[in-house]
Structure 1
Amino acid sequence: MKIAALADIHGNIDALEAVLADLERHRPDAIVNLGDSLSSPLAAGETAERLLPLSLPTVRGNHDRALVEGPESEMGDWEKPAFPELSEAHLQWLRDMPSALVVEGEVYMCHATPQRDDVMWTEELLPSGHFALKSQAEIEALAEGISYPLILCGHSHTARSVLLSEGRILVNPGSVGCPGFAYNVPVDHKLEAANPFACYAIIEKTDAGWQPTFHQVRYDTTRMVSLARDAGYEDWVKVIATGRVD
C-alpha cells in the first residue's frame, strides 16, 4: 500500500498540478490532504475547484478554519485575498472538514497536532526566532493515545519523519505550495525551504513497516509569482520564486 500525503497547498494551483502530475508515475493507492489548502494571495478559487472533485480525505488546518470561523473584516493577511475568490460551496467544504481522520484503518492524519491545529508537532520556536527539533519526549507526548502505525501531519511546511515508540512513525510531507514564511508572533521568526519546489511524500507499507520517501517537484512559478505581485504581496513573490523569505 502506498499513501501520498499532501499538505499546505495554500492556493498554489500550479504547484498542486505539478504534484498531481508527478504522482501519476507513482500510482499511490490513496492521496490524502493534510489541510491549509487555500489561504494565500495566489489562486484560492482555482485551487478549490481542482480539489473538490478529487474528494481526497482532507483535514482542516488553522488557515482553513480562519476562512470560516469569523467575519471577513477580522481575517488575517493570508485569508483576506483568498476569501473573495471562494464560493459558498468552497466554504461549506471547509466547514465540513474534520480536524482528524483515520484512513485505510491504520493511518491517522491531522493538520498540526491532535490537540491543536496551530502548533507544530516536531518543531519548537526558540526565543531567538530560530526553530529547533523538539525532544523525543515532547513529540511522543503529543502522540499519546494514538496507536496507529502511521501518523501524518503538516503545518510546519517542513518535510520530516520521526520514529516513535512501538514502531509508529510520524511523517510531515512538507508544503506543496508555500516553501517559506515569516511572522512576528510571539517573536520575529522565519522558515525557509531554500528552494521553490512543490513538496509531498509517499509512504509505503513494507514488511519492515511504513517507509516514507520525500519528493520535491520543480515547476514553473511564473504565474504564481505574477499573481502575488499583482495582489501586492511582495513577501509571497520572493518566497514562491526562491524559497527564501528575504
Structure 2
Amino acid sequence: MKLALFSDIHANLPALEAVLADIDDRKPDAVYCLGDLVGYNVWPNEVIAEIRRRNIPTIAGNYDFGIGRSSDDCGCAYKTDDEKANGKVSIAYTNKTVGDNERVYLRSLPTQIRVNYELAHDADHLWQQQTPVSLLLVHGSPRRVNEYLFEDRGDRSLGRVLEAAQADILCFGHTHKPYYKVVNARGDDETPYFRHAINIGSVGKPKDGDPRAGYVILTIDETAKPGVAGGVSVEFIRVPYDVERAARAVEESELPDVYAQALRLAK
C-alpha cells in the first residue's frame, strides 16, 4: 500500500498544484491531506476548491479549525510581539477572504483519520480477525490539533504519545519540518514495541531551509506488523514550484511582507 500524504498548504496554490502534479505522476494507492489549507497567502478558496474537486480525505489543521468558526485565534504558537501582530493580520485577512461555503467545509473536517491495515496472510486462518497495523493521521498530535511534536522531542516522550493513541504509525504536520523516527514505545530493550512517527513537512510554507514544496510517500508492505520496526518505508519528496509567484502574491496583498520572505528562505 503506497500512500501520498501532504499538509500545511497555507493558501499557497502554486505549491499545491506542483505537489498534486507530482503525486499524479507517482500514482499512489491513496492520498490524504493533514490540514492547514488556509492562512498566510491569498488563495484559501482556490486551495479548498482543488482539495474538494479531487475528493481528497482531509483533516482539520489548527488554522482551518479557527477559520471554520470565524475565530480570530488560529491556535498558533507565536513567540514574539511582531509574530503575534503579523499573525493577527493574517487571520483577519483569511477570515475576510474565505467564502461562506468554504467556511462550512472547513468546519466539517474531522480532526483525525484512522486506517487499519490487516496485511498478514495466513491461508489456514483466512477469516480470523488479525491484529491490524493502525495508521493514525492528525495535524498536530493525537491530543490537540495545535500541539507541536518537534524532532528533538525525546523518544520516550514521543513513544508515550503514540502508545496512548494506539497508533502503530502516526503521521502529522504542523511544525513544517519533516522527519521520521522509529521509537520503542515501551522503553524496554528486552521486550521492545516499535512505533513509527512521521512528520510530513509542509507543502506551502516549509521551515527547514528548503523552499521547495514537501510531502511524503509512505509505503506499508505485507511484512508490517504491530510492534515491528520493519515493513514501513518513508520517502520525503521535494517539489520545485514558482516560489516568486507565491511571494509576490503576498507582497501585493494586505498580508505582511515577512511572509513572502519566509517563502523564499523557508524559515
TM-score by length of 1: 0.84
Would you say the 8 A contact 2:140–2:173 is kept in 1? yes
Equivalents in 2 of 1:174, 1:220: separation in Å? 18
CA offset at residue 241 of structure 1? 2.0
2:246 maps to: 224
2:31 maps to: 31
Would you say the 8 A contact 2:40–2:90 is kept in 1? yes
2:56 maps to: 56
2:144 maps to: 116
Would you say the 8 A contact 2:115–2:136 is kept in 1? yes
Equivalents in 2 of 1:44, 1:200: separation in Å? 19
Cα gap change, 1:242 to 1:96, in 2 (>3 Å): same
1:210 maps to: 232
CA offset at residue 68 of structure 1? 2.5
Q: Which has the higher helix share?
A: 2
Is residue 166 of structure 2 the alignment partner of residue 143 of structure 1?
no
5+ long unaligned stretches in structure 1 = 124-132, 181-192
Q: Deviations over 1:116-173 (max 9, x none)?
A: 11121234xxxxxxxxx01111111212233343211110101111113323211111
CA offset at residue 42 of structure 1? 2.6
Equivalents in 1 of 2:176, 2:58: separation in Å? 17
Identity of aligned pairs, percent?
A: 25
2:99 to 87, 110, 122: 87
Would you say the 8 A contact 1:11–1:40 is kept in 2? yes
Equivalents in 1 of 2:73, 2:63: separation in Å? 15
CA offset at residue 195 of structure 1? 2.2
Aligned residues: 223
Equivalents in 2 of 1:115, 1:157: separation in Å? 18
What amino acid is the match of 1:168?
Answer: R
Could you say what secondary structure the match of 2:41 adopts?
coil
RMSD of Structure 2 on Structure 1 (CA) = 2.0
Is residue 42 of structure 2 the alignment partner of residue 20 of structure 1?
no
1:177 maps to: 204
Would you say the 8 A contact 1:7–1:36 is kept in 2? yes
5+ long unaligned stretches in structure 2 = 75-86, 118-133, 185-192, 224-229
Q: Deviations over 1:100-131 (max 9, x none)?
A: 111354321010111111121234xxxxxxxx
2:262 maps to: 239
1:201 maps to: 216
Could you say what secondary structure the match of 1:82 adopts?
helix
What amino acid is the match of 2:213?
Answer: A
What amino acid is the match of 2:171?
Answer: L
1:167 maps to: 194
Larger radius of gyration: 2
Would you say the 8 A contact 1:164–1:170 is kept in 2? yes
1:153 maps to: 172
What amino acid is the match of 2:148?
Answer: M
